[in-house]
Amino acid sequence: MPDSTPSEGRAPAAAPGGGTEQGPEGGTELKRVIGPGLLLLFIVGDILGTGVYALTGKVAAEVGGAVWLPFLLAFVVAMLTATSYLELVTKYPRAGGAAAYTNRAFGIHFLTFIVTFAVMCSGLTSASSASKAFAANLLSALGVDGDHARATMIIALAFMAGISLINLRGVGESVKANVLLTLVELTGLMIVIAIGAWAVFQGNGDFSRVGEFDTTGEGTAFGAVTAATALAFFAMVGFEDSVNMAEETKDPVRIFPRVMLIGLTITGVIYVLVAVASVTLVAPSELGEGETPLLKVVEAGAPGFPLDLFAWITMFAVSNSALINMLMASRLLYGMSRERTLPAPLGRVLPRRRTPWVAIVFTTLLAFLLIGWADLGSLGGTTSLLLLCVFAVVNVAVLVLRRDRVAHRHFRAPTALPVIGAVLCAYLAGPLAGRPADDYRIAGWLMVVGLALWAAVWLADRALAGRRRAG
């Protein structure tokens, strides 16, 4: 709800690096083109993304027929954390997201850098995975069989280059492309839901599976559900990407709360319906095999449906994930350069297009490297782990920043929500949630890389300060 006590005579808060905090519409070099409709489609498209098309089977393999329950619980955790993001984005409507909020709350350069690095890694690995998935689906849709690693690589790199050109041209073009891709994405999921409903009404499938739990892996229903929820949470992330678009949103303080909560609710309902339809038509053990679970659902419920068409829909869905994640990653780096946590050149903007071109080029080059040599098959769980840790920090940061007053009204989350959100995020990120050891191993190596980058930035800053003193 809005904060009814904005400032009470206090001066505006000091902005990082000096100056004063800008109002909700001030202090941006970016172009405000995103209204409520575009923001809603951005949020819905980002959350749905690649996850629901590939993750349903893996969640079913963890929990069995009650595959809808982990998605519902992940939705609850996401909604709790979303209220913290809403308070912060309406209080500080600037690009930067979780990293900017961490910087304001704690003022620890190392912690801010690591949060920035974790969020950026999640976006780049997701976009790079989507690029490879796009290439594989394109070859499949064209009827090309066999192992074509070189062709897949070339298509994925070309696709990522095309995403960067859209990003460079302007956020208006990027968001319009997102509108088209999100509508295609939603169409594919509506097809799955409609086929499931038709099959149930015709007496096909086995609706009784939705209450069955597979406890062979974790030993108890609770263990199976928590392990599956930790995995399913990866499919609910995405809402946090939208806060990095705050400087390009019209009147973000007014429209963000309503639009984000509506977007989360829409995607939560879609996930539960898709999960129910999937397990009704396909046995959980079969659903968990392979990388195309929803294609199996369509084939089982409507054998006459053109499967090639659904492959093209899947390809557009992963395209949307790549576009949105690359938008997020570039705006994150731009925002943190403005906060003086990252080098200033990352904040440079094209004079005419008003897009952060250095940040876009930098993140695109990193994505090229990931596409070229990284095996991204096991990074979904690691990305979920890193983001849960970030969300725990954000839920604490919103409480710390309650002492910082601003001169405009903003959304205020009930205090209990960020507290519960922080506890649940920390639990799902911990070993008690049944996470595989590989998640922690990969996350550890990523943090080692992040530590090396932080040390490089710190040494460069010290060297620059030394030259300034000497001059």
Q: Which domains does the chain have, with CATH numbers?
A: 36-462 (1.20.1740.10)
pLDDT at residue 20, rounded to an integer: 36
pLDDT at residue 291, rounded to an integer: 63
Name the nearest CA neighbour of 396 among 433, 432, 427, 426: 426
Yes or no: say if 349 and 333 are a contact pair by the CB < 8 Å rule: no
Nearest 5°: phi and psi at 301? -85, -25
Question: In which element (H, E) is residue 49 found?
Answer: none
Q: Establish how many alpha carbons lie within 13 A of residue 50's alpha carbon, considering only the half-sphere containing its beta carbon.
A: 23
pLDDT at residue 173, rounded to an integer: 64
Centroid of chain to Cα 450? 19
N- to C-terminal Cα distance for the chain?
52
Provide, for the chain, the percentages of residues in helix, strand and coil under a 3-state DSSP scheme, each rounded to the nearest 5: 75, 0, 25
Instruction: Give dist(CA 329, CA 452) in Å, integer.
Output: 19
Q: Which residues contact 190 (CB under 8 A, 6 or more apart)?
A: none
Q: Which sign does the torsion angle of CA 54, 173, 82, 389 carry?
A: positive
Q: Which residues contact 87 (CB under 8 A, 6 or more apart)?
A: 398, 410, 411, 412, 413
Yes or no: say if 103 and 125 are a contact pair by the CB < 8 Å rule: no
Per-residue pLDDT of the chain (471 residues; tens, 9 = 90+): 444 333 333 333 333 333 334 444 444 556 666 778 888 887 887 787 666 776 788 888 888 888 899 999 999 999 999 999 999 988 888 766 788 889 899 988 888 888 888 888 888 877 887 787 788 778 767 777 656 778 888 898 999 999 888 888 776 666 677 678 778 888 888 999 999 888 888 878 888 888 888 766 556 778 888 888 887 887 777 777 777 677 777 877 788 888 889 999 999 999 999 999 999 999 888 887 766 788 888 888 888 888 778 878 878 777 777 887 888 788 878 877 776 667 778 888 888 777 888 889 988 988 888 787 655 456 667 778 888 999 999 999 999 999 988 888 888 999 999 999 999 999 999 888 878 787 888 788 878 877 877 787 788 778 877 787 876
Name the nearest CA neighbour of 377 among 74, 48, 125: 125
| Helices 109-141, 307-338: crossing angle, 10 deg rounding | 160
Distances (CA, A) of 322 to 103, 179, 226, 359, 379: 27, 14, 28, 16, 15
Yes or no: say if 88 and 243 are a contact pair by the CB < 8 Å rule: yes
